[in-house]
Amino acid sequence: VLAIDGRITVVNNIPHASGRIRFGASSHMARLIIEVMKREPSIRAGINFIYSPEIVRLLKRYASKNGWVVCPIDRTDEPDEIKDVEGASARWKVDKAFEITEGKLPKIIFEFGGVGKEDLSYIIGEDPIRVVKDMCDIAQRYIQTLKI
């Protein structure tokens, strides 16, 4: 699985990849996409990004407008036997997402509440170009909310 090595940050108000694209750069994102592909083989791409109450509100509105399924995952529900094993959470998150959405494929997943875990948002889709276009549109809308 190809990923950006490191994070995407903001430099002079422009998103900037901190590293190059390479195979194996993001094992946690790779595990998530592979687990989703087991249920929905057409899904081949995703981006994980910041979680905040403002982002959640924006994403819920955006998803509703676009007919997307959104899924919140509370990591405090994650069983200890999964939490304690490095790399085991992806399967649990995907199973939980499909359980919460009653078998529907979520386009956007939020995860929060994990002790010692970063709260995150994910957007997934069939190909990287579509996912990036969706993410750029979301980012533009987010920037508009910041303007007074």
Domain ranges for the chain: 42-146
pLDDT at 38: 96
Strands (E), 32-137: 45-50, 70-74, 108-112, 120-125
pLDDT at 49: 87
H or E stretch at 36: helix 27-39
Q: Which CATH class is domain 42-146?
A: alpha beta
Full pLDDT tens readout for the chain, 148 residues: 778 887 777 777 667 778 888 888 888 899 999 999 999 999 999 999 888 898 899 999 999 999 999 999 999 999 999 988 888 899 999 999 999 999 999 999 999 988 888 899 999 999 999 999 999 899 888 888 876 5
| Residues 75, 114 contacting (CB under 8 angstroms) | yes
pLDDT at 74: 95
pLDDT at 143: 82
3-state DSSP call for residue 17? strand
pLDDT at 11: 77
Distance CA 63, CA 70 (A): 7
pLDDT at 116: 82
pLDDT at 2: 77
pLDDT at 84: 84
